Amino acid sequence: MQPHDGMFIDGGWRPAVGTDVIDVRNPATEQVIGAVPAGTAEDVDAAVQAARAALPGWAATAPGERAARIAALRDALAARQEEIAETVTAELGSPIGFSRKVHAGVPVAVAGSYAGIAAEFPFEERVGNSRVFQEPVGVVGAITPWNYPLHQIVAKAAPALAAGCTLVLKPAEDTPLVAQLFAEAVQQAGVPAGVFNLVTGRGTVAGAALAGHPDLDLISFTGSTAVGRRIGAAAGGAVKRVALELGGKSANVILPTADLARAVRTGVANVMGNSGQTCSAWTRMLVHTDQYDEAVERAAAAVATYVPGDPRQDTTRLGPLVNAAQRDRVNGYIVRGTEEGATVVAGGPGAPDGPSTGYYVRPTVFAEVGPDMTIAQEEIFGPVLSLLRYQDTEDALRIANGTVYGLAGAVWAGSEEEAVAFARRMETGQVDINGGRFNPLAPFGGYKQSGVGRELGSHGLAEFLQTKSLQL
């Protein structure tokens, strides 16, 4: 797509207030592939005003008509899936196969799910002598990350639209092109002017202006726990609704009765997907001490099949990280792991063989990782897997729950009942049982410092609603 040189505000593209721009760089070639405006507080204010003006009309629109607009949005995204995939591959570095299946395919499924939910959701119910209404919370400020750029936009915009809210989106500065493509799809879908608005810009300027804007009713943020903590504090001070989807350090618990080969193979794939830049990635693999050595060998062999390469090629399974700072950050964690005594059984620090340009790191597996090591406690956000051994089930549970995070996880066992029993004791918001598939209708979100609130499905819609009761 050809980048727009303006902001999408009040149903059309308009020039930015300032002249500063943000270069968009291809992380595989390190070349600039476009530029977008670096929005200011004035741009944000114009977008919020447009959303505020559009709110009464959109909130009063019948749920069936809102559902029809979301269905049209789904269709617009579906018609441009290849363009979406190519755009995400260019600005994020995701292998094209992964981009087609996940970065382009999942947002279509999520948008479709909200078209159905909007048409069927009980926005009104009778409770005794009361009529209880679910009404839109108002104007939403959405701040989204770069790792799943379109999915995170749709996971906020679709339920906000279904609820009758209007919104202003500030996408990540590394991946703004697919956000502009989304704005085009919104326009194509016939969503009324001002209901959706897009301001590109830096987090420290446009993001801060949006998060602190006094005329917003809810801030929905996905990103680091450190930034989320600041946004939550500011929202609390203003007595403003907030939804936060933050970091993770998810445990992949392989119980002794599990199919070890499948559990290890799937666990490695989970961590290597999107170059490890996934907040819910199962970066800690917990294995019983009797099976530990075999699991280490299997993990090292599996990682060897993830060879860094050109993300435009269909055969590539591992692309670069999003930028130079992220590459250096991940390499720093790999060095820290070796310094603290973990054993590198695959990969290690430094650039991989092969690509002569790009922000690549070596896919890495650590063995003999202690639960208190930095690489077992902090979110690395790269293709780095730590294997930890446990002595018994209670030890496994203690290790699994032994971080400040609680976003996701996995449990493998010989029976579903055994796995579910363990998962119920995990302090985390979502657990995959024996490789359970992604469900766009299931709520996603974290315990502890992994966030506040839920996304996806009817639970995600509820984040954008407020309740009114009439006693008759």
For the annotated catalytic residues, the residue numbers are 245, 279
| Tokens, residue 384 | 């780095």
Give the 3-state secondary structure of residue 303. helix
Q: Is 42 helix (H, G, I), strand (E, B) or coil?
A: helix
- Cα angle 237-242-243, degrees, rounded to a multiple of 5: 150
Alpha-carbon distances, residue 36 vs 3, 205, 242 (angstroms): 7, 14, 28
Hunting for tokens 């600039």 — which residue is that? Answer: 32
Q: What phi and psi values does residue 458 have, to the nearest 5 degrees?
A: -65, -30
Residue 127 buriedness (CB in 10 A; 0-12 / 13-18 / 19+): exposed
CA distances to 44, 222, 224, 398 from 228, rounded to whole Å, are 19, 8, 6, 26
What is d(CA 112, CA 47) in angstroms, rounded to the nearest whole number?
26
Alpha helices (H) along 60-132: 63-79, 81-92, 96-98, 105-120
